[in-house]
Structure 1
């Protein structure tokens, strides 16, 4: 029974953190209600399969998959090309399908050639600290805006939503630090249910809209049409894959700190995770969904719930996969208020701050770590304040980096630290020769 409760909690966490992306992208491409429902279903379906693949043959850690923010950004950028560089949004969606397929191929290439394993050496404690802190800072804006009830249609604070969010946050915080272990273990699902009921009581939930009348609905292959292989998108996919690898490595590194696995050779883990990610990107292209990536927030979830076992995670992923096949259930899950998800995730990410600080303390050369952190954090956080429309006339690859403070800051941290290490080694060699 305990495993099933833990699995149900994983399922709720996965869906709550993933449903916003397909809804937002569907809105960007002005998809019809039926197309939106199908897009949500296919995305959740892929996330369930992707998590199972990673849990069984990939990194074999309890790290859920979510819609990759990088792909989300590329979708958003390409949506603006409709009627200019490309004839229609439909044509763009087939190009994006082709891009995800090529991303899968690139993942295979990096994993098989061994380049992926070499990239893991760049993720020192300092770089991991910078990555985690930037991740927290980047998402904190979404958490607070969501808890305030601020959306595209509601540009001002909604007091009722704020009160409901604060109540949900307090409940989640209280249960996650409860003295009774089983309450602490299932604190997330308890808080989600209480928060959901609270928002129903205050009348801040959306009505259930079941667009698909079928009892069971299987996801459609190439729902937007046959994939188009555009040279510009192929080049973009190559660089996006490099950035997704960076994200994947960081997520695994953080989870390894929470859930130590001594029986798995690190090189094999990262290589297998890369191969699994290749399959997952292919599935995203084949099923006209959003390419997935291991979510770093899973470490905070595991740390908060103390559910370290892999089996409940895989079982929860199976639940996600199964529930995606039932349109009625998907419609119910889609009514989970976003502020409830943000409030609960806020509590989860409190543990992430602690994980980041632990990584920083591991660094022996504190002076170098502080310098690298200062340079990269200023660059990453500064980029978060630059408006998206500032990159309208820049290449997609450049925009994907400069418009993403997390990625930009992490790259700056890696480059700065490697330069300092090279400089230090050169000085030592020069002294030895003299």
Structure 2
């Protein structure tokens, strides 16, 4: 990045990372708290705890883990799994407290399993299992899942059932603006397209949509909010089906580490070491175990950070570290949390949707140069389309299946990745390539 004032670049870069972390995090504790029917005070506590844990996780990974500027955030795979489990339990009249307690215990155990596997060098096995096609399937499904979530959010459908035309129109303009700045902007302007989009969108929202029914982010940052409350989803309980699913999800969630670190190689211009993979797994496991204790969604390196890096082209760790430290600060200081929580959710989602367009490019790069014919196309088409199809189904349609398998079947990302793993490692595709 060409810039004559490195201090201003550091400050602006850190603020941009801060907004990226914030907009990726804010909706998760809100939606999970609502799914478990928690009172407002507990949701507020979960939000502040999530800010502190996420900022600390980013610092730990960047300093002692993989040492890359990749956001360590609450996993999209885990988020969708938890929401689908909560929806299925509510639809069948089950106990939300038992579900929450079993999930918390399963997350705690799953995190420790991931840390142990990482320490034992399981990343080497994963690297062999996760071929270029499996990585592409994972990134295709992840981009579909996340873009769907943030597309609904930019249209103002977070917590509402109908679209506000003015709000949706502003979001579309913001997406076009961020993409235009990223493509046509010069120097620092292009590097800070996401930050510029958030600031302009926030101002336009306040000026032109003051009465829009934007769902409030909650009273985050009030002095009465507790932080690090133990097991807010429910006291530890044992539901074998939920716990097995949680541990399986924790292992599959390790693919985020592989995908993110591998995906960073062409961006950073160097090959990552096995030590980086191992350290990344250990810290992800330990942080996720802590998340289970404090009622947060488990963690993973965000593959979407690759899209952010490609959009901003700021590859230095310094702005990332400062942004992560600031994120911890807004979780600790009530006034800061309250200010950032006033960011309109649709504005944050619109800017993230624009940034996540780059994630699809990461999926395509994994299969760059691969030639498919009418036989081998199944190795990628089948898991991608099956996973996407499952994502469109409501969790309640799986109510007729046994409880221990229901959480797995209702998660399109999990099923798609496992299906791809089976196809890649059980079929010799090279014999069908001619």
Q: TM-score range by the shorter chain?
A: 0.7 to 0.9
Give yes or no for the alignment of 1:109 onto 2:116.
Answer: yes
Counterpart residue number, 1:286: 293
Give the counterpart of 2:332 among 314, 325, 341: 325
Matches within 5 A, 1:191-340: 191-201=197-207, 202-203=209-210, 204=212, 205=214, 210=219, 213-214=222-223, 218-223=227-232, 227-228=236-237, 230-262=239-271, 264-265=272-273, 267-340=274-347
Change (3 A) 1:165 1:365: closer
Deviations 1:32-72 (A, max 9, x none): 21111001111222111111222122222221122223333
Q: 1:368 Cα deviation (Å)?
A: 6.7
Name the structure 2 match of 1:23. Answer: 30
Task: Give the Cα separation in 2 of the matches to 1:140 and 1:285.
Answer: 26
Q: Is the 8 A contact 2:48 2:221 kept in 1?
A: no
**Cα shift at 1:99:** 1.8
1:330 Cα deviation from its structure 2 partner: 1.6
Moved more, 24-33 or 132-141: 132-141
Contact 2:81 2:407 in 1 (8 A): yes
Q: Deviations over 1:316-355 (max 9, x none)?
A: 1111111111222222222222221222122212222322
In structure 2, what is the equivalent of residue 64 of structure 1? 71
Select between 220-229 and 130-139 the one with higher mean Cα deviation. 220-229
SS state of the match for residue 37, structure 2? coil
Asked if 2 retains the 8 angstrom alpha-carbon contact of 1:67 and 1:292, the reply is yes
Counterpart for residue 429 of structure 1: none
State whether residues 21 and 72 of structure 1, in contact with CA within 8 Å, keep that contact through their aligned partners in structure 2. Answer: yes
Give 1:127's aligned residue: 134
Aligned residue in 1 for 2:4: none
User: CA offsets, 1:92-126, max 9 Å, x none?
Assistant: 43333222210121112322333332011122222
- Cα distance in 1 between the residues matched to 2:217 and 2:278: 42
Task: Report if the CA contact (8 A) 1:7-1:315 is conserved.
Answer: yes
Give, in whole Å, the separation in 2 of the partners of 1:133 and 1:74: 18
1:33 aligns with 2:40: yes
Task: Decide whether the 8 Å contact of 2:76 with 2:146 is kept in 1.
Answer: no
**Matched residue, 1:140:** 147
Give, in angstroms, the shift of residue 218 of structure 1: 4.8
Segment drifting more, 77-86 vs 187-196 = 77-86
| 1:219/1:325 contact within 8 Å kept | no
| Aligned equivalent of 1:93 | 100
Q: Compute the displacement of 1:83 (Å).
A: 11
What TM-score comes out, normalization by structure 2 length? 0.88
In the alignment, the residues of structure 1 paired with residue 118 and residue 24 of structure 2 have an alpha-carbon distance, to the nearest angstrom, of: 28
Structure 2 Cα separation of the partners of residues 209 and 240 of structure 1: 29
Q: CA RMSD in A?
A: 2.8
SS at match of 2:300: strand
Give the alignment partner of residue 356 of structure 1, picking from 344, 359, 363: 363
Q: Using a 3 Å threshold, how does the CA distance of structure 1 residues 278 and 140 change in structure 2: closer, same or farther?
A: closer
Unaligned residue ranges in structure 1 (runs of 5+): 426-434
- Give the length in aligned residue pairs: 422
SS at match of 1:61: coil
**1:136-167 CA distance string (max 9 Å, x none):** 222333333333323443x2321111111122
